[in-house]
Amino acid sequence: MAAQWGRLGLPVVSVVAEQDPSGGAGTSTGGAGGAGGNASLLFGADGAGGTGGHGGAGGSTTFQGGAGGAGGNAGLLTGSGGAGGAGGSGANANGNGTGGTGGTGGDSGAFGSGGDGGAGGFGATTAGKGGNGGNAVLIGDGGNGGNAGKAGGTAGTGGTGGILLGNDGNNGKA
């Protein structure tokens, strides 16, 4: 955490969120991936917000894959949202199981891109849904949606581009 002095004589501090650990595997349901921490702008209008951390990947389990963690949101001014974590896979000895949902990408600051959505987990019976991409605010592209866990599944939707300048994110592959 580095402090700088802004124009108004106030210290400007940007905090960059760290990546949270992945969710652990369970006996029937995988643990959810940890959410990325939100970056914060503490003092001063000139400070840039840090980039949100990545969500942890969901645990791989016997029946139900854990959900991927959501990406953290960027600070108020600048910074991109963190990417969502991938969903865990789900399969048991009988060939049944559901993949976990991919995490949603974090939203950007005023200037920055949205985070990409996490991929859905593979499911022996049902594929996990891809996470949706995060949104940009003023200037920046929306995050891309995550791919479905396997063919025929549901993909994530791309995030919205900035209202002044930016492209919408691409939808994931189903």
Task: Report whether 138 contacts 114 (CB < 8 A).
Answer: no
18 pLDDT above the threshold of 50: no
pLDDT band for position 55 (cuts 50, 70, 90): low
Residue 99: its pLDDT value, please? 87
Residue 84: its pLDDT value, please? 86
* Rounded CA separation 63/53 (Å): 28
pLDDT tens readout for residues 110-124: 888 998 999 998 888
Question: Across residues 142-168, what is the average pLDDT?
Answer: 94
Question: Across residues 147-162, what is the average pLDDT?
Answer: 94
154: burial class by Cβ within 10 Å (0-12, 13-18, 19+)?
A: middle
pLDDT tens readout for residues 78-113: 788 888 888 888 877 777 888 889 989 888 888 889
Work out the mean pLDDT of the chain and round it to a whole number: 75
Residue 11: its pLDDT value, please? 45
23 pLDDT above the threshold of 70: no
Residue 5: its pLDDT value, please? 40
pTM for the whole thing?
A: 0.77
